[in-house]
Copies of this chain bind each other. A is one copy, B any other.
Amino acid sequence: MPKIVDHDLYRKELLSKCFDLFAQKGYSAITMRQIAEGLNVSTGTLYHYFPSKQALFEQLMEEICEQDELMAKAELEGKQTLQERLEVLGKYLAKNEDYYIKWIYLQVDFCQHQDSKDIQGRGTFRHATQRYQQAAHDILGIQDPVVAWFIFSLIDGLIVERLMDNEMVSITEQFSLLSKMLTAYLEKPLSNKSYNG
């Protein structure tokens, strides 16, 4: 009888602990030794669960994509008006700013890393993009994809500004402005609402 360990469960446990490590130093800069130390295991054990640094990173991305979606959905459940939803979303982002800064770090790393290496895991990201769009419908109740991507882009941009330590930008403040702009825009009776309407 082997040592009783749920291989897959432990793998996921390790995975979730890697998030901060990768985000803080970046994919290339962090070493497997540092990750192992951060996880309180030996390098050998780390390689027992993940075949390579790249595989570890890709598995992490996938895992986080899933969790991120679930978290966002859970947060917005039951909110009715757009204003209400935006407010909740803004507060949620502001509260979890640190998390989303790390998340952006990871995503940018992933893309940079994808550009130069073999095009593994491209599917993962495509998939994520589609899910995000779907999430826009589900979460915000917005039909127009241009508006949906406007909001998502703004969110990304706000996180990026915060990541750059820009203290002039407040997520809640910006969400408040977004809410007003959106209201003004959507209420305006005349003209087509979006470029390709």
- The interface of chain A, by Cβ under 8 A from chain B, is 24-29, 104-105, 107-109, 111-113, 115-116, 125-126, 129, 133, 145-147, 149-150, 152-158, 160-161, 163-166, 168-169, 172-174, 176-178, 180-182, 184-185, 187-188, 191, 193-196
Contact = CB atoms under 8 A, between A and B. Distances in A.
B184 A188 contact: yes
A173 B157 contact: no
A145 B169 CA distance: 9
Contact of A146 (B160, B173, B182): B173
15 contacts: A26-B26, A26-B109, A108-B163, A111-B163, A146-B173, A147-B177, A149-B166, A149-B169, A153-B157, A155-B157, A156-B160, A157-B157, A180-B191, A181-B185, A184-B187
B129 A164 contact: yes
A182 B152 CA distance: 17
Contacts of A109: 26
Given A28-B29, A157-B158, 6 more contacts: A111-B164, A129-B165, A129-B166, A153-B158, A160-B160, A180-B185
A31 B125 CA distance: 27
Given A168-B145, A180-B185, A185-B180, A112 B157 contact: no
A107 B157 contact: no
A24 B115 contact: yes
